[in-house]
Structure formats: structure tokens, C-alpha cells
Amino acid sequence: MVPESTTTVRPELAARTAPRPRLTLANVVKSFAGRTVVDVEDLSLGNHPIEGLIGPNGAGKTTLMRLIMGSLKADSGQIRLERAGHRDVVLSRLHAHKIAQCGVVKTNQVITDFDGLTILDSLLLSVTPERREFPLHLMGERATYEEHRAEIERQLDHFGLENTRRLALSAGEKKLVDIIRCLLLKPAVLLLDEPTAGLPGEVTQKVMDAVDDLAGNGTTVVIIEHDLDVIWNLCTQVTFMAEGRVMLRGEPSEIREHSTVVESYLGQGHV
């Protein structure tokens, strides 16, 4: 019998213990028409595998994620990405497509459309390197599909999406395709904006499992949710925002009991 090596570290364990990609925000301010909607003095995301971001409607949660993604530019302040083995990057100085190239990816709160692409094509497009992106011709598509087939099939199977050579039909299906698109990219940082809103309970569980799996492989996940069961189940660190500011940060048990959160967000009689 071959004795088990005591020095070999399984890749998934190494990923769980390695330092994660970290976002740090310093004095990040965004105003619309003179009204400040984000004003974050000092926030670091990625010290925990899955971080929750909660707060009332209009708190600035989506805006904060859009500032990280570069789809909105901050009026002032700095957003940095730190990754082991990479040079630190000041994301707030980069264009959105460069930020995506750094491995920072976001799902959308509201899905508009996939430009008439079938489910399969929109997933293929998401994993297609830029040089092959246009046109998505037959050879390019086949090469991309072969490279990514196993993972695409695994995800489609996990979410029970069948017959993928058709357009995504329901809002829920579109949402799932958007989530799978992000999972396939194996991002350094994944920002999820209400990923389970409007999805049935069993699909919510599948999303939670997939997110947990991704985080287990080293991705830093930040998740916005109003379904607080998702937050309490997945996250080990929660940030509570209101009126654009970070009001509290802590473990789920601290946050859910805190009088500020209870009074301004959870309301009376929460469990």
C-alpha cells in the first residue's frame, strides 16, 4: 500500500486557504444630479469567500457594484484590486472592458436581452476570447465549444436547462443564463446583484450551490440579496449599507441582531 503523502495539498484545499482576490475602496463617492448615492470611506471585500451586501431599496448597492465594474465612474476615490501573483490594479482608472479582463465580473439585477442569441450561443460568446469573438463563425464556434464543452454541459445540467439551441424564454431563464455566463468565466471576483430574485426555491438552491462551489475554488464573491436567507446561508461577512454609506460590517449573526439593521431594514418581528 502506498502511504498517503503528508505534503500534497489538494488543489481545492489550496484554493480555500490561498489569499483571495481583494477589492479595496477608499473614499469612493458618486452623486447623481447633486445627490450623493454612494459615499464609501473605507471598505475591503474579499477577506471572506462570500460577502453579503444588504440594505434598503435605494441604499446604493447596485451603484457600488457598477462603480467597481466601471460601468459608472466615481466622482472621486479609488477602487483597487489585489490578487496574489498579480500586480495591484487601480480599477477606478480603467475602462470597463479592462476591468473585465482583470477577472472582475457582475451579473445583472435586471436582464434586458441577449441580442437574439440562443442560450448556447450566448454562453459560447461569453467564453470566446476576443480574437474569435467576431464573427462567431463555424470553426471558431466549434473550437470554443470543444474547449469549454464539458464545463458548459456541467452547468446546463446542474441548472436543468435543456434544448439550449433556442432563445431564453422566461425572465428566470435569462437570469440563469446570465449567472452561468459569469460562472463559466471563472472570475477572480464575482459580483452578484440579486441573483435569486424571482427564481423558484429549488433553483435558488442550485444558484447557491454553484456560487459556493465557485468560491471554494478561489473566487471572491460579493452578493446583493433581499432574500436574507440566501445571505445568512452563504455569507460569512455582511456589509449593511444605507443612504450610500456603509453602516455596519460583521458576521451574519451580528448583523441580523443589530438594532440599526432591525429598525431600519428588517422591521419588527423578524426572525
Grid coordinates of 104: 472582475
**Other beta carbons less than 10 A from residue 126's beta carbon:** 19
What is the Cβ-side half-sphere exposure of residue 268, based on CA atoms within 13 angstroms?
Answer: 0
Cβ 194 to Mg ion, closest distance in Å?
Answer: 7
Say how far apart CA 73 and CA 30 lie, in whole Å.
Answer: 8
Tell me the DSSP string of 211-235.
HHHHHHTT-EEEEE-S-HHHHHHH-
Smallest separation (angstroms) from Mg ion to the CB of 61 = 5
Single-letter code of the amino acid located at 124:
L
Query: Which span (56-64, 84-92, 95-103, 263-271) binds ligand ATP, by CB under 6 A?
Result: 56-64
> What residue is closest to Mg ion based on CB?
62
Which of 62, 128, 204, 219 forms a contact with ligand ATP (CB under 6 A)? 62
Contact between 206 and ligand ATP by CB under 6 A: the answer reads no
Q: At its nearest, how many Å lie between Mg ion and the CB of residue 58?
A: 8
37 binds ligand ATP (CB under 6 A): yes
Which residue from 59, 69, 180, 255 is in contact with ligand ATP, where contact means CB under 6 A? Answer: 59
Beta strands 89-90; 104-106: pairing state: unpaired
Question: Does residue 237 belong to the site contacting ligand ATP (CB under 6 A)?
Answer: no
Q: Which of residues 4-33 bind ligand ATP (CB under 6 A)?
A: 32
Of 17-25, 58-66, 131-139, 229-237, the segment contacting ligand ATP by CB under 6 A is 58-66
Grid cell, residue 210, equals 454553484
Residues within the interface to Mg ion (CB under 5 A): 62, 109
